[in-house]
Structure 1
Amino acid sequence: MLLLLLILLLALAMARPVDHDESQYVAAATLTAKGLLPYRDYAYLQTPLQPLLFAPVAALAGVWAWLALRLINALLGWLTVVGVFVAARRAGAGKRMALIAALGLAACDILLFSAAMARNDALPAAMLAGAMVAMAGDRTRTNALSAGLLLAGAAAAKISYALPAAAFGLWVLWRQKRPGWVALGALLPAALVAWLCWLAPADALFGILTFPAKAPADFYAGRPWKLSLAAKVVDTLKFLALGPALLALVAAWRGRAAAGPWPWLALAGFAAALLPEPTWRQYLLPALPPLFVMAALGLQRAVPTRTMRLAVVPLVAAGLTPSLIALVQGGGILPAMRERAAIARVLAGRGPVATLSPQFVADPDSRFATGPFAFRIRRFLSPADEGARRIVTPRTLAAQFAARPPAAILVGGEGKWTSGDDALEAPLEAWARGQGWRQVPVSARFRLWAPPR
């Protein structure tokens, strides 16, 4: 069943529609493969481990890097499920209950979405699950070292995993579970992040803390209801109901599965999910692996009620429906990859390309490494700060392009078909027209602007 799940996750990674959320992660891996470093050479709006680990994949895959990163994430999503199964077995759950819990996690849209996109969700989740396997094992130096290494690695790939890592650290200190070896394991990822922050401290602070804290209020200024407590409650319950996560909560509570580090990790994961505004489904992923281990232990101790059994079918169906729709509709990433190949042929040898869809080009302008996300900043940075942070926005575009024009401008990838906003690309196209640049045919969806001959 787990092998079948791997095949389905790989298929889903190819079938999911393109999403502009993937832009900065594909661009970061591509730029790092060229020898650039996050923060120092280009803006990156997360902690920095993923582009460093995925750069070799991008280098080997070349024009197919985007697809390769999706498939890697599908594998990492599968490893997360397997990690929950193994951790539950080691923690004392029977094989049947551990498998039910692992497949319950696999039926959550939170995991299915995260494992099918080229984002930074699957890598830290797999690291968390691997750390949980080590936690559930014997009290050996190797397990303590592995848990520290993997939890710190998860936080180095996505900042929200820092809370579960800190919670486990407190639990280890409280229970005297080899805290020195856990800290030693965490040293390598922590040193890597510290080194990159030391190279460009202001840029690292902007990417890791300032942007996530200030960008939502800036972007949703016209829709303040999206940042309200009521919206957070509704969104959280909605995402948890797309799959059996709510049932896992009930099973863990009924079985009193509170021994070990699992409640600490789950509560910290939920806290990490609820702190940002607004709440999106992938934000809840840090809480699910420990929650489903607790569910396996809870099911082992307390037989599910008739109501729980009846609720399984509709909740699993709700969790699978978005992915089944994607599989039935077809298309997915393969048409986008064909367009990427066509763009690469037209752009061959031109140099860095300015675009809000850097996942579609092999040589993105590093000032646009964050895709549309830094470009839509309106208020919280001055023009001087924008230049210092190696980003471009509409108000600084003309000055920055005058100082260093791109080799070409590509528009068309930031629109409704990628969950984006068509109007966001208008300043790029207006600048190209104003400079007398010519339009080069690429495809029905994309428009390429090149300097006049």
Structure 2
Amino acid sequence: MRALLVRPVALLALAALLLVALAWLRPLDHDESQYVAAAMFTARGLIPYRDYAYLQTPLQPFGLAPVALWAGLWTWPALRMANALFGALALLGVYRAARIGGGEARLALAGAGLFAACDILLFSAGTARNDALPAALLALALPSIVAAQRGAATRQSALIAGLLLSAAAAAKLSFALPALAYGLYALSRPGHRAGWVAIGALPMAIVTGWCWVAAPEAFLFEVFTFPARAPAEYYEAAGRAWKLGLPAKALDVLKFLALGPALPALGLLAATRRQRPIGALDVMIVAGLIAAVLPSPTWRQYLLPALPPLFVQLALWWQARPPSRAVRVAVVVFAVAGLAPSAEALVRGAAAPPLAVALADTRAVARAATGLDGLVVTLSPQFLAGSSTLPDPRFATGPFYFRSHGLLGPDEETRARLVSQDRLDAALVIRPAAVLAGGEGAWTSGDPALDAAVERWAAAHGYRRTHVGPRLRLWFRPP
């Protein structure tokens, strides 16, 4: 018994260490800018939507603000490390749910291990985005849900399930669909104690509702309107409207699922659906897949809500019907495919860890910005972590609102504390202390043309350029 306990703990600890290493070595991504900025702003007492724009539901900035407050210059690496640990917690949730569902330790570990071999999870746990936290919260709710499925629900477990599922939705909107699906399922099954699940969901509903009341117009635009309209505008303007069509979406979904054992797991469970009763996990899997395909285009991290219940269900099915040799071989092949992108990132990043490069640039910016009186305009606010001055909150979303055209009118932009590139000059009537550029480039998967627009404004208004390291440029306001 003790050996069975030590082995899962050791393997999960090893998985956490590997996820931390991957987070340190994975390439930089400009997607991370708004999440690092949100943690920085909230650590300074600013409230999302009311004081700065945040294009997601609000839990993550509040939850990770203490990390940013403590980490200072190390904020970006610290947030990546936090996401790596959230990824490990998601694996723990899958393992515990499978065990509570009656799975043997080896099959529960197999379920968690196959989940760990999905590129979808590895990407999400290796960047400072807002995917790993809600995945961990949803996965940690699954033990309570599986216990309820087996008729062992208690008030406490129902409260925990409601709290964790609602927290996942409060961290990322796409997780609201599997959370809602379970809530509706629980209503139809008295043993799931739906009333207590709903009571457990109240605290997160209150937090989200308070953010909405504090800035209703900004909240609705940033959480709902922007995600619905901005991608279509961006891809159409870039001449890539084909990316929004159903054929491209279908290919993307298959590709992302095939980078790991999620695709064969889905195929196996779909093929055997008539051989087992449909339960809460099945409902959540379907809801997670629907949440993934609703936005256009579909990216790999969008599929994450479906994966924790998928691999719990797979482990439990294999407990009842052990897989054949052919199935095991196929799953291993797909697992290797899922590990390949991360293995490549580990090899490429070993010589010059991208996060170490980012940390050096952050230090250089902090030194160069010492003594600045005022805010800094930048599309890369993550490089101002730990500096004596803050980024301009109107640029808190990094490049993502700045690159839009016509989503909001001038007055609406002012009320929402946002600036698009078309209105840059009108927005900067009061000159910022400095302009930071260079972080929105190919080395961060960004668009250098956006930084060029900001630099043209700085040059036209007499700002003095200083190179900060080999990649970044700080433009200082003229006397």
Normalised by the size of structure 1, how large is the TM-score?
0.98
Determine whether 1:347 maps to 2:348: no
Give the AA of the match of 1:286: P
Determine whether 1:365 maps to 2:365: no
Determine whether 1:152 maps to 2:166: yes
Write out per-residue CA displacement over residues 217-271 of structure 1, whole angstroms, 9 at most, x where no aligned residue.
1101121100000000000000000000012223434374545310011111001
Match of 2:8 in 1: none
Match of 1:96 in 2: 106
The match for 1:226 among 217, 238, 243 is 243
The match for 1:114 among 90, 105, 124 is 124
How far did residue 278 of structure 1 move?
0.2
The match for 2:419 among 362, 367, 392 is 392
How far did residue 368 of structure 1 move?
0.6
How far did residue 380 of structure 1 move?
2.3
Q: Report the number of matched residues.
A: 452
Match of 2:304 in 1: 285
Match of 1:434 in 2: 460
The match for 2:83 among 56, 73, 81 is 73
Give the AA of the match of 2:106: R
Contact 1:257-1:294 within 8 A present in 2 as well: no
Determine whether 1:85 maps to 2:95: yes
How far did residue 346 of structure 1 move?
0.7
What 5-or-longer segments of structure 2 have no aligned partner?
1-10
SS in 1 for 2:466: strand
Match of 1:414 in 2: 440
What 5-or-longer segments of structure 1 have no aligned partner?
none
Normalised by the size of structure 2, how large is the TM-score?
0.93
Give the distance between the partners of 1:215 and 1:197, measured in 2 at CA.
21
Q: Any residues of structure 2 matched to 1:171-186 within 5 Å, and which?
A: 171-176=185-190, 177-186=192-201
Give the distance between the partners of 1:173 and 1:364, measured in 2 at CA.
46
SS in 1 for 2:323: coil
Give the AA of the match of 1:17: P
How far did residue 385 of structure 1 move?
1.8
SS in 1 for 2:421: coil
Give the distance between the partners of 2:225 and 2:173, measured in 1 at CA.
12
How far did residue 122 of structure 1 move?
0.5
Q: Any residues of structure 2 matched to 1:217-256 within 5 Å, and which?
A: 217-221=232-236, 222-253=239-270, 254=272, 256=275
The match for 2:47 among 37, 40, 46 is 37
Give the distance between the partners of 2:422 and 2:354, measured in 1 at CA.
34
Give the AA of the match of 1:352: L
Structural RMSD (CA): 1.2
How far did residue 407 of structure 1 move?
1.3
Task: Give % identity.
Answer: 56
Deviates more, 1:131-140 or 1:441-450: 131-140
Give the distance between the partners of 2:129 and 2:243, measured in 1 at CA.
23
Match of 1:336 in 2: 358
Contact 1:148-1:181 within 8 A present in 2 as well: yes
Give the AA of the match of 1:334: A
Determine whether 1:7 maps to 2:33: no
Give the distance between the partners of 1:225 and 1:305, measured in 2 at CA.
40
Give the distance between the partners of 2:17 and 2:421, measured in 1 at CA.
43
Give the AA of the match of 1:220: Y
Give the AA of the match of 1:360: F
Give the distance between the partners of 1:257 and 1:158, measured in 2 at CA.
31
The match for 1:270 among 286, 289, 300 is 289
Write out per-residue CA displacement over residues 327-353 of structure 1, whole angstroms, 9 at most, x where no aligned residue.
111222111111111101111231321
The match for 1:314 among 333, 347, 360 is 333
Give the distance between the partners of 1:82 and 1:426, measured in 2 at CA.
45
Match of 2:7 in 1: none
Deviates more, 1:135-144 or 1:286-295: 135-144
Give the distance between the partners of 1:258 and 1:156, measured in 2 at CA.
31
Write out per-residue CA displacement over residues 136-156 of structure 1, whole angstroms, 9 at most, x where no aligned residue.
233111000000000000000
Give the AA of the match of 1:358: P
How far did residue 306 of structure 1 move?
3.2
How far did residue 30 of structure 1 move?
0.1
Contact 1:411-1:448 within 8 A present in 2 as well: yes
Deviates more, 1:10-19 or 1:437-446: 437-446
Deviates more, 1:146-155 or 1:387-396: 387-396
